[in-house]
Amino acid sequence: MRHQRVLVTGATGFVGSRLIECLNCDGHSVIAAVRTPVSAGVPVFQMGDLSGKQDWSSALVGLDVIVHCAARVHVMSEAAADPLAAFREVNVAGTLNLARQAAAAGVRRFIFLSSIKVNGEWTEPGRPFTHNDCPAPADPYAVSKAEAEAGLQELARQTGMELVIIRPVLVYGPGVKGNFQRMMAWVERGGVLPLGAVDNRRSLVALDNLVDLIVTCIDHPAAAGQIFLVSDGEDLSTPDMLRLLGQVLGRQVRLLPVPVSWLRIGAAWLGKRSEAKRLCGSLQVDIEHTCKTLDWKPPVSLELGFRAAAMTAE
């Protein structure tokens, strides 16, 4: 592996901070783009808001690769009056502004951390998402990511800068927040969960598997121009996920086999229809293209990934 000079945006985030650790261990020269002053253990570029107006020129000198993790992320309780405009300002205008300046500065490769939500929200049994599916984004966050991808692809065609797009599924690991953290909290509390009859399939990706893929894409010659879906390669039902969490947390998980139709009715009555979809619906990805193109496989097993996440559970 040839050592590269790499800029990581979103450097203090869940993915970015772990990525910087791994790039440092591999001997790459790393610059962390941050919004607030921090000690990142590497040189820091102090940026403002990620928008179409940010001047990146001083950070781009001599760079080989940019890994763009920073984004306005999907939120459960949206406060913006116009969510799509807010997502577009950061995820589209901010991303394309950085990419244009990078191409002009001679940056060789731009790695964009997108989202599986570009493919869609749910999959049918036995029909996982693939890398060449037509995009079907369903919410403002996903629309903004899809538009950013399209803009980057056009820029790559015009300038010759190499583009790699990575679409992760739900990422979990040490310090995870959001839905996975809530599931760990349910298991920690014990009690009975009415999810024993759910028969779905979900793809997940351990933080270290995602980071390993990003590091692989830093200089792999076959990565240029590709869209990669990434997961652990092992899919679980919601009940199996809860049982595995119980195993690694040392907690007994009791699941009541309530019919899924009842769960959906109850969730609708409580105004939690989207939560029920996440727990009962399927979302699977096919990573064969990723593995074959890069001669790559996820280095961390599902069980080891769950154990690493559980070590930091409160």
Residue 309, both tokens: 């996440």
The Cα 34–Cα 291 span in angstroms is: 32
Q: Pick the catalytic residue: 14, 129, 141, 180?
A: 141
The Cα 83–Cα 88 span in angstroms is: 9
Whether 141 sits among the annotated catalytic residues: the reply is: yes
Bridge-based pairing of strands 65-68 and 44-46 is unpaired
Cα 14 to Cα 154, 178, 224, distances in angstroms: 29, 12, 25
Burial bucket for residue 175 (CB in 10 Å: 0-12, 13-18, 19+): middle
Catalytic residues: 141
